[in-house]
Structure 1
Amino acid sequence: MLVAPAEERMWEKSSLNNGKSHMTDEQINIKYEQGQQRILTEMNREKLPSFADSLKKTNYMDVSPFYQRRLRWDEQKQSQLIESFLINIPVPPIILYEREYNSYEVMDGQQRITAIKDFYNNDLELTGLEMWSELNGRTYQQLPDKIKAGIDRRAISSIVLITESTQNKEEAFFLKQITFERLNTGGVSLSKQEIRNCIYSGIFNTLLFKLANNSIFAKAWGIPLENKDKLRKNNLYKKMEDVELVLRFFAFRHANEFRNGIEGFLNLYMIKSLNFSQGDINILEGIFIETINLASTIYEDKLFKPFDVKTKQWKDNSYKAFYDAVMVGLSNHLNDVDLLIERKSRILEETKKLLAKDKKNIFTGAGRTKADLQERIKLFDEMLSQIIAE
């Protein structure tokens, strides 16, 4: 299997996977006294005008639209937040992570922060207000003095995880994930990949988004990249499940290291990816591109669509479990690309036979255990090895 240099070392023991599950009471007490796995927080409350001014400071707060959700609040949703401040409806606190002293990442609250910033920059024209419909069509600058004063006296609360909470980078990101999952107050349920996107920003996360835009990949999963209106409504795209599919490929190449269930293993790979260099990223990108090109050449319009033994037809939709097996299996044989393409008809026939023997439906998503994952990858890999050896 081709791997990036950092992948060769990524499963060495770390503070996240060598913890003791059985400890004496004395050891537990010492662990607590030393502050291990304990979160340190600060609670802040700041008037809205002051908060908006703070956002203009260089490196003060990372509120990148890429950082959290693909779906951005529209002007009506932003306006409703401003109306909530006006009529004094409690607004949930934002959650920040102090990456350096007085420099923050937004863990939860990007949409609220963006709405406040747009409002005070006069980039938001209020719309859809219900209790104060008289203000629709106005920016902050155009509001009556009393209304501006009423909003200006409101405050936004924040919960800050401070830098002293962790001793190393891996622990810091693990802490961020636990905190985000338990304190998420955005009101809209985030998918697992949206949470990962919030927490593990970096060059590998950027690569996942880039590869999710691969035309072959998008077509196989029915993601309409060329039609922005349809794209926004696409379920895979909205919840970043397309990005998660790319992550599955990279992570499941290391299925022998599988632990903590599918979601936990994907999280662990993201944590490990924080040590990737740009050189590693370039290698991984090449592996994905070469693999999906090979898969497309072999399966064409049947890419990631299992063969249905009952109907004697290839299914209409792609299946995640089958995708895992095809992509990981083919990636193990990139040194034999020409031979595999030459024998594509054999691969198609053997794929049909393989699926006909699949009584447990492990290729169509019935199995999510470590054994199921490893078995489907192993069976597909063995099929390819036999064809190569002929």
Structure 2
Amino acid sequence: MVRKDFEIEDDIEVLDMDEQGDDEASTASDTVSPDEFFAKHAFRVVYQTNNFLLPQLRDLVSKGEVLNLRPEYQRRLRWSNIQKSRLIESLLLNIPIPPVFLYENDGARYEVMDGQQRLNAIKEFQEGEFYLTGLEVLSPLNGLRYSKAPPRIKRALDRASVSAIVLLLESDSERSPDNKFSITDVRRFVFDRLNTGGTKLNAQEIRNAIYPGEFNKLVVDLARGHVFTEIFGIPPYTESEPSDYYENPNRQKNTLYASMGDCQLVLRYFALRDEENIRGSMKAMLDRAMASRVQITEEVAGELGEEFNQVLNAAVEIFGPKPFLLPADDKGRRRISSALYDASMVAVYRQIDHLPELLAHNKNIKKRLAREFASGDKDGVLTGQGNTAKTVKERISLLEKIIKEGAGLI
């Protein structure tokens, strides 16, 4: 749960920015015929359909050499044992279940686009990680583990199959030379259309699903950092095995972790540190920040990680162990503000060359910030009430001014 000494304000999916100066508008006009536009811009999704027997799926998932579930990079809310059990019941009864969707990546491996929970449930039951519970039709099987299942039941599961639709890399070659869509765009379009039923994934979960790579890994790794989790009240990562991170029940109860709001906070820094990217909606800023770094190398990702941690540690040294807190409200509560986090982090980044001066005068900087809050913040710049891209720039500039004045740099 969140820390008791402050509350996380509910703006993590973030400011409702206007669309001024946003992504390039469509160049299609009324003078272009639908047929001509389709001929120049359409693409064909190339896919194949496979049926996998459950033992085959178990081997593919367990070995991880061909099929990668990447659980940490998608939804963090796991199915309950009842949900898993009912899937197994459906397979035993030969009730059709929805197909899983995979996509082929550059490494000749397949990533799960949709169906992660189903595949996990099948693997976990066959490996004895839970027993059946909550069954309605096959209620006498409640309490049964796979290892104790009678031969008839095991044979029934071995004969059961799951259909898989695989989006192939050839989709990239099927694009018209005139269109601007990449294979990542194709995946995003397909994923967005799959993501219409059930529990809809939020924007950050979708980004983590469609933008694999070193930067994606970096964002998740930075969200695990001790300083970061301490600031935002996320249970620390003390597990010895990374695969155990995903199972931590206390962390799953944390709102930021469960919604991938922690990863979004990390991404916000990289989206706003580049001033030319501060345009349009916050969602568009975050999407661009992710898409533009999808091809970076492990070395570059390492450099970005060192930068982020340097800035975050500097913010703690300047503003104290609980930076980004708004002043107490009428009830004495203090909320941690993502808007203040954004501005403070980017302002510190811009002045990182003057870090010795900032640390030497951190008390003056905190006093200067307190005076700004005491003045009433009538325009809502510091508190995040302003909700335009222009206000985001103003907020960052104001924090930078506060830091420089407090440190005697101006």
TM-score interval, smaller chain: 0.7 to 0.9
Alignment of 1:105-124 (within 5 A): 105-121=111-127
For residues 55 and 255 of structure 1, what CA distance do their matches in structure 2 show?
A: 42
Tell me which residue corresponds to 1:157. 163
Q: For residues 188-234 of structure 1, give each alpha carbon's deviation from its aligned partner in whole angstroms, at most 9, with x where no partner exists.
A: 33222222222222211221122112222222211121685432211
Corresponding residue to 1:369 among 388, 405, 408: 388
- SS of the residue corresponding to residue 157 of structure 1 reads strand
Measured in 1, the distance between the counterparts of 2:298 and 2:237 equals 29
Residue range with higher mean Cα deviation, 94-103 or 245-254:
94-103
Aligned pair in 2 of structure 1 residues 311, 55: CA closer, same or farther (>3 Å)? Answer: closer
Question: 1:113-152 residue pairs with structure 2 within 5 A?
Answer: 113-121=119-127, 125-140=131-146, 142-152=148-158
How many angstroms apart in 2 are the aligned matches of 1:184 and 1:321?
Answer: 29
The question of 1:201 aligning with 2:212 is answered: yes
Of structures 1 and 2, the one scoring higher in RCO (CA 8 A, sep 6+) is 2
Contact 1:255 1:373 in 2 (8 A): no
Hey, what's the Cα distance between the residues in 1 that align with 2:330 and 2:62? 61
Q: Which amino acid aligns with 1:342?
A: A
1:384 matched to 2:384? The reply is: no
1:282 offset after TM fit, Å?
Answer: 2.3
Contact in 2 for aligned 1:256/1:374 (Cα 8 Å): no
CA distance in 2, matches of 1:247, 1:222: 18
Report which stretch shifted further, 212-221 or 52-61.
52-61
Q: As a proportion of its length, which structure holds more helix?
A: 1
C-alpha change, 1:311 and 1:341, in structure 2 (3 Å) is farther
Shift of the 312–374 alpha-carbon distance from structure 1 to 2, 3 Å rule, reads farther
Deviation at 1:97, TM superposition (A): 1.1
- The letter for the 2-side match of 1:291 is V
Corresponding residue number in structure 2 for 1:10: none
Counterpart of 1:273 in 2: which secondary structure? coil
Q: 1:347 aligns with which of 358, 365, 390?
A: 365
For the 8 Å contact 1:42–1:162, the answer to whether it is kept is: yes
136-145 or 295-304: bigger deviation: 136-145
Which residue among 348, 352, 364 is the counterpart of 1:330? 348
CA drift at 1:322? 0.6
Deviation for aligned residue 1:62: 1.6
Identity of aligned residues (%): 35
TM-score by length of 1: 0.83
SS in 2 for 1:366: coil
What is the CA–CA distance in structure 1 between the aligned matches of 2:291 and 2:111, rounded to whole Å? 17
Consecutive unaligned residues of structure 1, counting only runs of 5 or more, are: 1-15
Q: Please tell me the residue identity of whatever aligns with 2:97.
A: V
Contact 1:174 1:271 in 2 (8 A): no
* Alignment match, 2:71: 65
C-alpha distance in 2, partners of 1:323/1:208?
16
**TM-score for the superposition, normalised by structure 2:** 0.79
C-alpha spacing 1:185/1:90, structure 2 compared with 1 (3 Å)? farther
Q: How far did 1:235 drift?
A: 0.6
Unmatched 5+ stretches in structure 2:
1-21, 239-247
In the aligned structure 2, how far is the partner of 1:201 from the partner of 1:112? Answer: 21
Tell me if the contact between 1:108 and 1:186 (Cα under 8 Å) persists in the aligned partners: no
Q: Distance in 1 between matches of 2:235 and 2:159?
A: 45
- The alpha-carbon distance between structure 1 residues 100 and 283, as it changes in their structure 2 partners (threshold 3 A), is closer
Please give the secondary structure, in 1, of the residue aligned with 2:166.
Answer: strand
Q: Deviations over 1:244-282 (max 9, x none)?
A: 101101111123223441112211111111122233222
Q: 1:214 — aligned with what?
A: 225
Name the structure 1 match of 2:305.
285
C-alpha distance 259-40 of structure 1, shift in aligned 2 (>3 A): farther
Deviations 1:296-335 (A, max 9, x none): 1121144100235x7698x622110010010011110011
The corresponding residue for 2:199 is 188
Question: Which moved further from structure 2: 118-127 or 89-98?
Answer: 118-127
Question: Which residue of 1 is the match for residue 294 of structure 2?
Answer: 274
Counterpart CA distance in 2 for 1:277 and 1:177 is 22
